[in-house]
Amino acid sequence: MSFLGDIIGQCRIPERRRELRRLCQSFADCPKGLVFSGENTRELFAGLEHTKIYLDQEESRVEQPGDCLPGDEHQIFCGRDITLETIVIDSSDCGEFFFANNYFFLRNRFLIHDRTGNERYGRAGPYRFRNLLFAPSRSSLWEIQRLSDIGRTIGPVTELDAPVFFMSTYGNPNYYHWLFEPTLLSFRVCQEHVQFPDGMYYYVGDAMPKTLPRFVSDTCQALAIGKSQLVWGNCRAPRMIGGFASSPAGSAPSPRQVHFLRDLFLPAGGQPSTPKRIYVARGNTRKRRVANEQELIQALRGHGVVPVVMDGLSIWEQATLFHNAELIIAPNGAALTNLAFGRSGATVVEIHSGSYVNPSCYVLANLVGMNYCYAFAQALGPNLDSHYTMDVAKMRRLLRRIGVH
């Protein structure tokens, strides 16, 4: 009997059994997309004797709405429920799992895949799915192909002599996604349930540059992971551990993850002297730049605001800058991940382009007790990554509104 046939046979809930059959009807042994969640995970892996499943759920709510000028109000900043589910797989069933091409494969046929996008932001196609168990395709996630049809793209799989943890970001890592989705999130949850043995390997995948981004090397240092423990190529091990997270509302920081990161990166004891009012420039990026940034910076200097960039700084240095600041002004971007290190009672003003709105920093600011304010700029193009201009007079009016002189 096929693997999915096994799953269907083991499923004890008639409604779910019918749903599994419906998902599998297009191919005898291939689902269109089987949602991978706490509701069905134990059913899916019930037949694997040496595979343990741990489920971790967080539910909280952000109540405090963001502040803005009249006319800029947006419902996305008017309170949000946070629901986060993390699934940890710890398997010693040799041959059932392997890591390849930056993904977590199951039984040589299906891959477990986490999509962190959300259709609310205008993304189409596969971004509507999160945490899927499905057959991969070279060209489009909509095209269902058996793994045997594309096996030549996988390449050889190395057998490791020690357990390995899935630490891939599925692509070139971004600072925010590295810390919150799903790499360090699953690491934190795994540590709460699983004892990591000495000599553990960590699979980062071939999308991770061999010269590690600074925030990745800092994280490894903080977690006492040596570079010799990192694995870039396809691998299988006597014990495979990995975690997957999903949030129905899209990208949402986890309250417990914020505490984990603050414990990991906020220096203990005295803090170095850094500016109290900062403007965080977008830095080295080609997307969503503030076209009139120099004009904006010059105006902000009159309010005692000092421009800073995060490029080249360690996570500890970035955490210190944000923790010491009483006022943070910044365009939306990965640098605002550091709001996780902000100080309760401080204020952040986030600049959003007219074409892209993301609530992650609003949630982060509220989780650490910061006052969140926002302003909308004027997009210079129609797509999500278009540059934009920020009306300097409008920024001055917002600063007066919140008592910044």
List the chain domain ranges. 49-60+82-261, 266-401
d(CA 62, CA 93): 41
Residue-level pLDDT at 44: 73
pLDDT band at 110 (very low <50, low <70, confident <90, very high): low
pLDDT band at 87 (very low <50, low <70, confident <90, very high): confident
d(CA 197, CA 193): 13
Residue 28 has pLDDT above 90, yes or no: no
Give the single-character DSSP code of 310.
-
Residue 135 has pLDDT above 70, yes or no: no
Phi/psi region, residue 143 (left: phi>0; alpha: psi -120 to 50; beta: rest), is beta
> Can you tell me whether residue 297 is helix, strand or coil?
helix
Beta strands in 257-322 (DSSP E): 277-280, 306-308
Q: Contact at 8 Å (CB) between 127 and 116?
A: no
Expressed in angstroms, the distance from the first to the final Cα of the chain is 72
Residue-level pLDDT at 11: 44
Higher local confidence (pLDDT), 93 or 150: 93
Higher local confidence (pLDDT), 98 or 245: 98
Composition of the chain by helix, strand, coil, percent to 5: 30, 25, 45
pTM beyond cutoff 0.85? no
pLDDT band at 248 (very low <50, low <70, confident <90, very high): low
Higher local confidence (pLDDT), 134 or 385: 385
Residue-level pLDDT at 170: 66
Chain centroid offset of residue 179 CA: 6
Look at 85-99, 125-139, 348-362 and tell me which has the smallest mean pLDDT. Answer: 125-139
Query: Which fold, 266-401?
Result: Rossmann fold (3.40.50)
Residue 251 has pLDDT above 60, yes or no: no
| DSSP H or E stretch at residue 104 | strand 103-106
Higher local confidence (pLDDT), 210 or 26: 210
Name the average pLDDT for the chain. 79
Encode burial over 335-361: b for 16+ CB neighbours within 10 A, e otherwise: bbbbbbbbeeebbbbbbbbebbbbbbb
pLDDT band at 24 (very low <50, low <70, confident <90, very high): very low
Q: Taking Cα atoms as reference points, which of 230, 221, 356, 342 lies closest to residue 282?
A: 356
Residue 282 has pLDDT above 90, yes or no: no
Maximum alpha-carbon separation in the chain: 73
Residue-level pLDDT at 153: 59
